[in-house]
Amino acid sequence: MSRIAVILLAAGSGRRMAGAVADKILEPLAGRPVFAHAAAAFVASGVADLYVVVYRDPAQMRRLSAWAPTPALLVPGGAERSDSVMNALAALPTDIETVFIHDCARPLIRPEQLTVLAKRARRAPALVLAHRVTDTIKELAGRKLRTLDRRRLWAMETPQVFSRQLITRAYARVARRGVAVTDDAAAVELLGQAITLEENPHPNPKLTTPADFAYVEFLLAREAAAADISPS
């Protein structure tokens, strides 16, 4: 059976938090660090054989280790997100065949979604959690606006799931070309590989600005209230 590794990315600088929090990955959210919410979802799903926690610095690593699932490797991150992913991929044992890559700034990922992704990944070498764009999106070129067809637009989320061989080749090409990618699917696109989208019916926002914390706290409170009133 294919062994699965989960890369938990926690090394981001959080520049867009503008100093509102010291470390968004360790910031308390409903009584636990943000990191702990994502880690707990993966543990509850049971999809992983191994975790790779990518940390920013030794001080953060020590705090993350208290919440890290097991078995886990702790790997230092790089200057950019792509460097952090490449460091994690390089640390994987040779028997890992499938890799989940998750930004821990998305704490609302659900265990049942992870189970579905693991099943679909057996037949899809590149699989990305995503949601449809509902806003009208316009492209600005110089002083002219062009309206994009939102029926064809999807917003990427994490986790993103790949065959280990494919994502390793993709990031090798990223390194050779020296290009910047903002997610792992963009790296795979450089190979011309088809990517399967798994539509997410649930909110899975990324904590990017200080206002996002209030929104995610609200979503967590709403979930907890719904669980309290659901029939046992």
Q: What is the pLDDT of residue 191?
A: 97
Q: What is the pLDDT of residue 125?
A: 98
Q: What is the pLDDT of residue 232?
A: 54
Task: Look up the CATH number of domain 3-229.
Answer: 3.90.550.10
10 Å Cβ neighbour count for 181? 19
Q: For residue 81, what are its two tokens? A: 């997100």
10 Å Cβ neighbour count for 195? 18
Mean pLDDT, contiguous 10-residue spans, the chain (232 residues) = 92 75 92 97 98 97 97 97 98 98 98 98 97 96 95 97 98 96 97 97 95 94 82 58
Classify residue 142 by burial, with Cβ atoms within 10 Å: 0-12, 13-18, 19+: exposed
Q: What is the DSSP string of 102-163?
A: EETT-TT--HHHHHHHHHHTTT-SEEEEEEE--S--EEEETTEEEE--GGG-EEEEEEEEEE
Report which secondary-structure segment, H or E, holds 227. helix 210-229
Predicted TM-score (pTM) of this structure: 0.95
Q: What is the pLDDT of residue 176?
A: 96
Task: Delimit the domains of the chain by residue range.
Answer: 3-229
Q: What is the pLDDT of residue 231?
A: 63
Tokens 């450089």 sit on residue: 190
Rounded CA gap, 85 and 163, in Å? 14
Among 80, 36, 27, which Cα is nearest to 56's?
Answer: 80
Q: What is the pLDDT of residue 230?
A: 59
